[in-house]
Structure 1
């Protein structure tokens, strides 16, 4: 585990680094998850052909700090990841984001195009309104969720693997992140994604179809790749096909600056 103190957030952001030669790949997890639990097996998969991997825990999640005065908006999380990459002196990375992490990745690519060579998003939040996980959380009062709703969410989720990841998240961070996803941003991640010039790929699980965001991405000319036998947690539901699809998406990366 490595860590960096972010002066703006007054908190440590932490990540796990897998050494390797070649491209630097940065993995950003979704709401209530951790990067290692979601992406370590993907980053090390032979389909990606090696390379250095950074598995980043967003603030309020996993091993990173839980600043109480942080807003946990996607733009703020993107700035925190950008600070980490600046600290490491890397540019033109392959950036991979799932769900909420996809929205964070889009904001990062839009605000700091120098840092991102290729972008792959897996069922990201592209517009306001939230999703199946964030919407019920955001509908609760913040204090009530922190004191009661979070524990109830951990106890009642139908995915034991999600409960295991969620236990490592901060209830306040989960709630504020969910509210931010429901409220959306201006411009929206979907609009930012359409305007990006870096190569982009959209991954969607077969069991999530029909998916309105995937259809919008396709209409923008973004390659949309379906992962068979997978739902929203596609890199866990079908890691083999997810890794192969990701490897293909990153196979023709543009020239890099690091």
Structure 2
């Protein structure tokens, strides 16, 4: 556990090294979590350990304003998140291209990074990534409205205080952090101003992409558009799952990620597939044979 300062912001970082010596050829995997109520723990308890066991050097961090990282009043756009990522890699001395694994908003950050900083990205996994495709504008508007309503409820209904009175300290702390983030920063305005990634933005992503979406998710069409627009994209649709596929189908997602990553990152295939834990394989639809 460590704090790392990048772009003048203090980031909370966890790093899980593989067994044995870490060298220049060791693949680095950086995990990017979702918005507001999320933090690095969503990967720590799902994918990080198996990735490290398979031979990857795994970096997890709380995005600005989230978890144990500092909460500056501004800087919550997608491009600022990409700039944070690159600066953090520099601060950690990681100059080689890395593999990104992003969930929800973290998936959008990973895709944006691959589009604007391909020199720093070797490949990426986008799990339920949003702000993508032709319907992204409507999704961004709905999300902004939802966050605004949530912010008002936190501010005027004293939800953290009510939860404390009920004895739920953990949830009260999460509500307090969400209140500070939604009502004390420009996050909602920054999300509302996020330009969707579509068309040319997606087609210029030259790195290999694994896109994982729940079949019941309202973002499923974004996954299909990724498969159509990104030159080297493999789409896996998980039956019976919605936006919470990482949490609800962890073993299956873990298997998909490790099996996709192993040949690309040079991980031992036996170690990677053995750590997967899932048996079912969703339909995989690469746009071409190089996904």
Give the TM-score category using the shorter length: 0.7 to 0.9
The answer to whether residue 31 in structure 2 is matched with residue 27 in structure 1 is yes
Does structure 1 conserve the Cα–Cα contact (< 8 Å) formed by 2:16 and 2:52? Answer: no
Provide the TM-score with structure 1 as the length reference.
0.80
Does structure 2 conserve the Cα–Cα contact (< 8 Å) formed by 1:25 and 1:52? Answer: yes
The answer to whether residue 251 in structure 2 is matched with residue 240 in structure 1 is yes
Equivalents in 2 of 1:112, 1:14: separation in Å?
23
What's the Cα RMSD here? 3.2
Does structure 2 conserve the Cα–Cα contact (< 8 Å) formed by 1:59 and 1:65? Answer: yes
Equivalents in 1 of 2:172, 2:240: separation in Å?
22
Cα distance, 1:172 vs structure 2: 4.8
Deviations 1:230-257 (A, max 9, x none): 32121110110000111122123268xx
Does structure 2 conserve the Cα–Cα contact (< 8 Å) formed by 1:16 and 1:56? Answer: yes
2:118 is aligned, of 107, 113, 122, to 113
Cα distance, 1:3 vs structure 2: 1.7
Deviations 1:112-151 (A, max 9, x none): 2121101110111113333698343344496x46623783
Q: Runs of 5+ in structure 2 lacking a partner?
A: 267-291
Q: Which residue of 2 aligns with 1:2?
A: 2
Q: Which has the larger radius of gyration?
A: 2
Provide the TM-score with structure 2 as the length reference.
0.72
Equivalents in 1 of 2:75, 2:153: separation in Å?
16
Does structure 1 conserve the Cα–Cα contact (< 8 Å) formed by 2:127 and 2:212? Answer: yes
Q: Which residue of 1 aligns with 2:60?
A: 55
1:11-160 correspondence runs (5 A) = 11-20=9-18, 21=22, 22-32=26-36, 33-45=38-50, 49-68=54-73, 70-90=74-94, 91-125=96-130, 126=132, 127-130=136-139, 134-140=143-149, 144=152, 147-148=155-156, 151=159
- Structure 2 counterpart SS, 1:250: helix
Does structure 1 conserve the Cα–Cα contact (< 8 Å) formed by 2:30 and 2:98? Answer: yes
Deviations 1:181-228 (A, max 9, x none): 34322xx33343331111111110133268221121122252111234
Equivalents in 2 of 1:139, 1:81: separation in Å?
26
Change (3 A) 1:209 1:104: closer
